[in-house]
Structure 1
Amino acid sequence: MELARDPAAAASAWEDSATQAACAKLLTFAVVGQVVWPAVCVGGFVIMLLVGQWAMWFILPIFLYSLYRAFLQRHYINSAVQARRVLKVYPWQVYRMPESGIGQIPGAKLGDVWISFPNPDQPEKGVPVVLHGHARSVWWRRRLGRGYETGKTSQVAKVWFAGDPRFAGVIAVPGPRRLFLLYQLAAGHAGNGGERVVSPKAIERARRAGIRAVP
């Protein structure tokens, strides 16, 4: 895995105007969704009450999906806010062909897609992070972990990463685009090879980024 030049060449990714714009877009869509999906859900319910049974079967899938998204939207907003805090503390780093896979690591379930980045305190060791599933992870999960190149996997041949893979971070494709928040579950801190070395400086930096799951 080759580490390329920092795309922003700055102390934090937030100093890059394109990163600020991408993060603002992410948060805007999350907030708009918090309004739109509940409205669609309520509207679908009202329509099902008013129309005949023949039309209800067409409206029901829309109602159920909008209900699912309405409950999920709060997670999107929290993720966007956390991504913003991470980007204000950590710089972008660019990785060419980062290691990724499906399952086969401690803490990963069958079918879980993961991506690995170097441990900041032990760069020779990789730290895998599972892409915890929700609608926004689908784009990444369809492109990572295949082990062979396709038209889709070539789109993530170069990945931008800001954060600490032992705790949390943000991945993106060059631009940046397709921002996605990664985070370690509490059970994933030990990871491969037992307990990880975490320096006081790394812990303090993670806390400044608002990452809660810090030892």
Structure 2
Amino acid sequence: MERVHHPTASAAAWDDPATHDAWLRLFAFAVAGQLLWPVVCAGAFYAMLLIGQWSMWFLLPIALYALYRTFLQREYIASAVQARRILRVYPWQVHRTPESGIGQIPGAKSGDVWLAFPDPDQPERGVPVILHGHAGSVWWRRRLGRGYESEKTRQAAEVWFAGDPRFAGVIAVPGPRRLFLLLQFSASRSGAGGEGQASPESVERARRAGVRVAT
């Protein structure tokens, strides 16, 4: 039977060796993509020149997608760096079947998937965070907010969260695996979170985690 890892009780998620290893894998894949996709793009264009015009039907889509991923990969690297700063400040919190949904909250479009976590200053109040982002959010968006249980939704029945939902955070499934950066764009990251106001201590902590908080 596979051993289940639980986050260590520490001041920061980064102090957990498993978290450190998970982040290194995330960063390594981001850097590898930054090296690989330009090569794929250039190779596809070069192959079109060698093979001839008819090859454009299947090589041009590959080249354009690789070009798109080349520019997108910078966001993966930046997200990994931001995630590391958050993990060095906040501890892991384990949430079983956290509230989630699709649309139907302020600022969300009809297809936007969101998660809600407790407000650190008012734990009785949940703060939703929309899963904005790139291809890295697809795994999460297919497993959250469905309103019914399936094999896929059970894979995200337990969510680890490190951060402050009014500003930013990192989510993962037990392991941790599937690290993903969440950014709160409502209220320009002022910490208002829809109602209430973040304490000065919470704002300072978010700034130490590298979040640009509106004054």
TM-score of the two chains, using structure 1 as the length reference: 0.93
Q: 1:207 to 1:134 in 2, by over 3 A?
A: same
- Alpha-carbon distance change, 211 to 194 in structure 1, aligned in 2, over 3 angstroms: closer
Partners of 1:30 and 1:183 in 2: how far apart?
Answer: 19
Distance 1:75 1:84, change over 3 A: same
In structure 2, distance between residues paired with 1:47 and 1:64: 14
Q: Which range moves more in the overlay, 89-98 or 182-191?
A: 182-191
Q: In the alignment, is the contact (CA less than 8 A) between 2:188 and 2:214 conserved in 1? A: no
Aligned partner of residue 155 in structure 2, secondary structure: helix
8 Å contact from structure 1 (residues 190, 196) kept in 2: no
Match of 1:174 in 2: 174
- Aligned counterparts of 1:77 and 1:129: Cα–Cα separation in 2: 21
1:202/1:178 CA distance change after superposition, 3 Å: same
CA contact (8 A) 1:101 1:114 kept: yes
User: Would you say 1:100 and 2:71 are equivalent positions?
Assistant: no
CA contact (8 A) 2:48 2:56 kept: yes
For 2:196 and 2:25, the matched residues in 1 are separated by 35
Q: Is the 8 A contact 2:192 2:198 kept in 1?
A: no
> Does residue 159 of the first structure (1) align with residue 159 of the second (2)?
yes
Structure 1's consecutive aligned runs of 4 or more residues displaced over 3 angstroms after TM superposition are 186-195
Q: Superposed, which structure 2 residues align to 1:53-132 within 5 Å?
A: 53-132=53-132
User: Per-residue CA shift, 1:58-91, capped at 9, x if unaligned?
Assistant: 1112111101100100000000000000000000
Counterpart check, 1:208 vs 2:213: no
Q: 2 CA distance for matches of 1:177 and 1:39?
A: 28
Q: 1:128 to 1:188 in 2, by over 3 A?
A: farther
Relative to structure 1, the CA distance from residue 197 to residue 106 in structure 2 (aligned partners, 3 Å threshold; closer, same or farther) is same
Aligned partner of 2:60: which letter?
L
Please name the residue that 1:142 is paired with.
Answer: 142
Which stretch of structure 1 is more off in the superposition, 179-188 or 70-79? 179-188
Shift of 1:126: 0.3
Q: CA deviation at 1:205?
A: 0.5
Cα drift, residue 135 of structure 1: 0.4
Q: By how many angstroms is 1:52 displaced?
A: 1.5
Q: Closer, same or farther in 2 for the Cα pair 1:193/1:174, shift >3 Å?
A: closer
Task: Output the CA distance in 1 between the equivalents of 2:92 and 2:198.
Answer: 20
CA distance in 2, matches of 1:137, 1:22: 17
Q: C-alpha distance in 1, partners of 2:168/2:37?
A: 28
- Counterpart position of 1:35: 35
**Is the contact between residue 191 and residue 213 of structure 2 (CA under 8 Å) also seen in structure 1?**
no
Aligned partners of 2:190 and 2:213 also within 8 Å: no
**Counterpart contact for 1:13–1:92, Cα < 8 Å:** yes
| Alpha-carbon distance in 2 for matches of 1:60, 1:51 | 12
How many angstroms apart in 1 are the aligned matches of 2:186 and 2:100? 20
Partners in 2 of 1:191 and 1:106 — Cα distance? 15
Measured after TM superposition, the shift of residue 189 of structure 1 is 5.0
Kindly provide the amino acid, as one letter, of the partner of residue 70 in structure 1.
T
1:46 correspondence with 2:46: yes
Residue 3 of structure 1 corresponds to which residue in structure 2? none
Deviation of residue 42 (structure 1)? 1.2
Amino acid aligned to 1:205: R
Structure 2: state its 5+ residue gaps.
1-5
Tell me the TM-score normalized by structure 2: 0.93
Task: Give the superposition deviation at 1:45.
Answer: 1.2
Identity across the alignment (%): 70
Separation in 1, partners of 2:189, 2:116: 13
